[in-house]
Chain A
């Protein structure tokens, strides 16, 4: 790598289901201004702007060009990237690469989604292997594949419904401490167990909301990062994996997680984190990491990802939940932010995982701060098993 890089600023809007006060440009601009303030920089210090969103979700073609007033990209370098649920981390990784070249003094990465201006559900129905046969089923979207993953976890005895409810309570408690989170209501186990089914065993409270919001991060190469702030979150390494798994509806290899690649997204999460651990000599992630942020499209996914990220053994997720290991006061806190189950503005979600990891390293987590974080991991998932794993540290030593 030409240069080592750091996150030197993070900014987020408040996330909610509707934000009719702000246009898309103003929404993005709010996050950008906060990130600049956090980094103690002005927009003049930024050389490149990378942005991500799902182009069909708010009905905006070439969002990077249309929102240039809000992003501050006027006469600056940059581009728009997208990869489904991982758009935000793909954007962050593209910004990491820009910063690492040493060609730019500071790079701004922005992920946003304004789902109140369009229909993400209608757009998601256009996901298909081919436009002739598969698209007509209309059975696309995430809920069906998540329910398959959940059934698989139940069938193999990895978790019980009560343990999943307990995990959801943990998610809600963390979110209630995060002023940016969307669903901030503190839940009780019974609230979760009594919520209605979406597709059994997936219940309403298990699943992420439809959110509106933006997240921005500022990256700088080492030569520049040190001059700006004593509180860097160094981006030590990152790995992206495209699982390339696109299950056809009814394809038995995928149904109930029995296919060679496991349930949707699992291949990506497992392999991106494994490759990152290997490259950085991490042999016991539960011990060696201080905090983990992971892309939990539902509570079930957070539990499955514990196993896939090596935080516990296969079928050990339930036990990990019962131990309270992943709560804020546990030995391996996961998703102090409240995670995606609490907040999901798609283009921002994956970036928020990395941003929260940086916030924790920089000791800026307020009520949700995990004490003394030196090493943080962010893992994202989306699309057809795209996943990025990012390792952040408080020092380069």
Chain B
């Protein structure tokens, strides 16, 4: 990479099961205001002096379906500050907005980019929207949603590699315990494997505690090219690698127990960041555990363990706070983060870890972090971001 991109500020709302007191714009304003006041940045049209540092591009992530209106970012210009300047909307997980922001800076066109994501899952019925995310002729009439698809993936994963539901449950126990240290988390508790296993089955083998809850929240961050990042903060966190990738759409066209798109996305990001042994070189990972089994499956795709060894990874305790590769010290998505915001909140958490600002969930001495974002059913579209504090 010729030029490095730094994250100079990041903010998240507290995630809650519903936020009826705030509309979409107000939700977004909370986090945008935080990163603006922290950096003192202005927008392009407000810059007075030539040497003023200003935001020259905005990449937001939202989706018309969830917003319940067309051109979902159009009503958010006041909150985003998007007046007379470049603004783009990514219709995908928030990690893709970060990816876009990095691309914008590496293209040489933009220097300082505001990226933001918000979603209020509480205002609609997610399964109806997710059903519209399938091929309309063959798949949609089945009534399938992302949960149903995930159950198929979990079944296939268990069958192919002989994993047990207890191993999935251990992910929930670990992450909800970690969430107790995360002030933004919606759901945090001490539970046992037995509690998870005895919770209500919603799509076999997935039980209610195996899934992330319905959640409202927002996240924003400021990215800047190296020279400006250093002016904006004493402690920028560098994005050293990015990678994204699509898999096939039809579930029958892929082996759901493998995750080819994640393998490819990760390899692209690792290559860019010069990482050859992810297990050794990554100090902390924040990944997309929308369903508990996915933390294990994605760990395989990210190269944290061999294929089919995700169960052994959680059994070994390596991904606990005290392990050699802590995964989701924040509590992950299982602790409650809206889809769409999920990937950006992962990047935010990795940022806090590498800055040493993660409070009680801090992994001591973390130098290299990984964040993952997922879009579509069974992780069809994957995005991996590598961060470093050196």
A22: shortest Cβ distance to chain B, in Å? Answer: 12
Q: Is the CB of B248 within 8 A of A68?
A: yes
Q: Which residues of A61-120 are within 8 A (CB) of B?
A: 61-62, 64-69, 73-84, 90, 93-94, 96-98, 100-103, 117
Task: Determine the chain A residues whose CB is within 8 A of the CB of B268 once the complex forms.
Answer: 77
Task: Determine the chain B residues whose CB is within 8 A of the CB of A123 once the complex forms.
Answer: 64, 70
Q: Which residues of A197-241 are within 8 A (CB) of B?
A: 238-241
Q: Is the CB of A69 within 8 A of B248?
A: yes
Contacts A90-B88, A271-B84: A65 and B99 contacting too (C-beta < 8 A)? Answer: no
| Total CB contacts across the A-B interface at under 8 A | 192
- C-alpha gap A127/B377 in the complex (Å): 28
Which of B100-108, B174-182, B202-210 contacts the other chain? B100-108
Is B90 part of the contact surface with A, judged by Cβ < 8 Å? yes
Contacts A56-B64, A98-B103: A242 and B83 contacting too (C-beta < 8 A)? Answer: yes
Contacts A62-B376, A101-B106: A56 and B84 contacting too (C-beta < 8 A)? Answer: no
Q: Is the CB of A76 within 8 A of B246?
A: yes
Q: Is the CB of B260 within 8 A of A65?
A: no
Contacts A65-B376, A126-B68, A242-B77: A77 and B109 contacting too (C-beta < 8 A)? Answer: no
Task: Determine the chain B residues whose CB is within 8 A of the CB of A383 once the complex forms.
Answer: 71, 74
Q: Which residues of B44-71 are within 8 A (CB) of A?
A: 58, 63-65, 68-71
CB-CB contacts of A18-61 with B at 8 A, as 1s and 0s? 00000101000000000000000000000001000011110111
CB-CB contacts of B312-353 with A at 8 A, as 1s and 0s? 000000000000000000000000000000000000000000
- C-alpha gap A135/B75 in the complex (Å): 12
For the side of the interface on B, what is the size category? 35 or more
Which of B70, B130, B246, B376 is close to A56, meaning CB atoms less than 8 Å apart?
B70
Is B299 part of the contact surface with A, judged by Cβ < 8 Å? no
Q: Is the CB of A84 within 8 A of B74?
A: yes
Q: Is the CB of B83 within 8 A of A243?
A: yes
Which of A59, A69, A386 has its CB near the most chain B CB atoms (within 10 A)? A386
Task: Determine the chain B residues whose CB is within 8 A of the CB of A369 once the complex forms.
Answer: none
* Nearest residue, chain A, Cβ from B383: A79
B301: shortest Cβ distance to chain A, in Å? Answer: 13
Which of B64, B65, B92, B107 is close to A64, meaning CB atoms less than 8 Å apart?
B92
Q: Is the CB of A74 within 8 A of B246?
A: yes
A165: shortest Cβ distance to chain B, in Å? Answer: 32
CB-CB contacts of A134-146 with B at 8 A, as 1s and 0s? 0100000000000
A residues near B (Cβ < 8 Å) are 1-2, 23, 25, 49, 54-57, 59-62, 64-69, 73-84, 90, 93-94, 96-98, 100-103, 117, 123-124, 126-131, 135, 238-244, 246, 267, 271, 383-384, 386
Given A1-B107, A49-B246, A97-B100, 6 more A-B residue pairs with CB atoms under 8 Å apart are A62-B92, A75-B245, A103-B103, A238-B109, A243-B83, A244-B77
